[in-house]
C-alpha cells in the first residue's frame, strides 16, 4: 500500500491537500493518506511514508528540520514535496533532497502534475529496492527484477526467480504491496512481473521463459490497462 502523508498546521489546508490527492487517485484501496497538523505528531508515528507533503512554517518544528530528521533517523527515501508560502527556504530544501517545492496558494493543476511525478519517482525507488524476506530463519535480499512471478501455496509464497525458486511464509496481499506497480495480481494465486510477460489471453499469461500462469477472467481488463501503462513507462 502506498503511504502518503500531509503535514500542515492549517487544518483547512491539510484537508484541502488530502481532497486533491483523493480527487487525483480516486477511490483506490492501494493508497492511504494521513493528515497531520503538527510535525512531531507525524514523526512519532514511525511510519515510512512513500510521499510526504510538508509545510515549512509549522508551530512545533521547522519543516526543513523535520525532513532532515526523517532522513537521518530512518534513512528515509521518501519523496518529499514542500508546500509552503515561504520562498526563502528553497535552497535549504535541496539539502534534504526535496523532490519539489510548491508555493502557496496552490494551483490545482500544478499540484496534480507534481503528484504524478512524485508517484513515478516513488515507483522507481520501490522497484529499485530489493525484497527482503525471511527464509528458514535467514534474511535474504531478492532483487525484484529477478522475480518472474509469485505463487500462493497455502500459507506460503513461492517466488519463481530466473535461476531458482524460494518458498517462505507470507501473505500474497502483503507481497503485492511490497513489489509495487511492476507486478500485477492476475489471479488469486498469482502475482506476475509485467516485464516477464510474453503474451496473454483472457484465461492465461505466457511468460518469456516458456511458463504459463492463470489469468482470472475478472482481472483481464485491469491487467490489460496495467500492462499498457507498464509498456508506456518503459
**What distance in Å separates the CA atoms of residue 84 and residue 80, rounded to the nearest whole number?**
13
Name 19's Cβ contacts closer than 8 Å, sequence gap at least 6.
Answer: none
pTM for this entry:
0.60
CA 79, CA 188: separation in Å to the nearest integer?
Answer: 31
* The pLDDT of residue 71: 84
> Average pLDDT in the 182-207 region?
95
pLDDT of residue 22: 94
Selection from 180, 112, 169, 159 nearest residue 137 by Cα? 169
Q: Which three cell numbers stand for residue 15?
A: 484537508
Least confident of 79-83, 155-159, 175-179: 175-179
7 with 15: CB under 8 angstroms?
no
Residue 58 has pLDDT above 80, yes or no: yes
Residue range 208-227: mean pLDDT, rounded: 94
| Higher per-residue confidence, 98 vs 74 | 98
E strands along 8-146, which residues?
Answer: 31-36, 51-54, 79-84, 100-103, 131-135, 138-142
Amino acid at each position: 500500500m502506498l503511504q502518503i502523508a500531509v503535514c500542515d498546521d492549517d487544518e483547512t489546508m491539510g484537508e484541502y491537500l488530502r481532497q486533491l490527492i483523493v480527487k487525483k487517485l480516486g477511490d483506490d484501496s492501494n493508497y492511504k493518506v494521513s493528515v497531520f497538523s503538527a510535525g512531531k505528531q507525524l514523526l512519532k508515528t514511525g511510519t515510512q511514508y512513500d510521499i510526504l507533503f510538508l509545510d515549512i512554517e509549522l508551530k512545533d518544528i521547522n519543516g526543513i528540520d523535520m525532513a532532515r530528521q526523517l532522513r537521518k533517523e530512518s534513512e528515509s527515501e521518501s519523496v518529499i514535496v514542500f508546500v509552503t508560502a515561504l520562498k526563502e527556504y528553497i535552497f535549504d530544501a535541496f539539502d534534504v533532497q526535496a523532490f519539489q517545492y510548491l508555493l502557496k496558494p496552490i494551483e490545482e493543476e500544478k499540484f496534480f502534475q507534481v503528484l504524478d511525478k512524485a508517484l513515478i519517482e516513488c515507483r522507481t525507488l520501490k522497484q529499485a529496492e530489493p525484497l527482503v524476506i525471511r527464509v528458514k530463519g535467514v534474511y535474504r535480499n531478492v532483487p525484484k527484477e529477478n522475480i518472474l512471478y509469485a505463487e500462493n501455496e497455502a500459507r506460503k509464497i513461492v517466488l519463481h526467480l530466473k535461476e531458482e525458486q524460494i518458498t517462505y511464509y507470507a501473505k500474497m496481499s502483503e507481497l503485492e504491496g511490497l513489489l509495487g506497480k511492476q507486478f500485477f495480481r492476475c489471479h488469486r494465486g498469482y502475482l506476475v512481473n509485467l516485464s516477464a510477460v510474453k503474451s496473454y489471453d483472457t484465461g492465461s499469461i505466457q511468460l518469456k521463459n516458456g511458463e504459463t500462469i492463470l489469468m482470472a477472467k475478472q482481472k483481464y481488463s485491469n491487467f490489460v490497462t496495467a500492462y499498457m501503462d507498464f509498456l508506456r513507462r518503459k
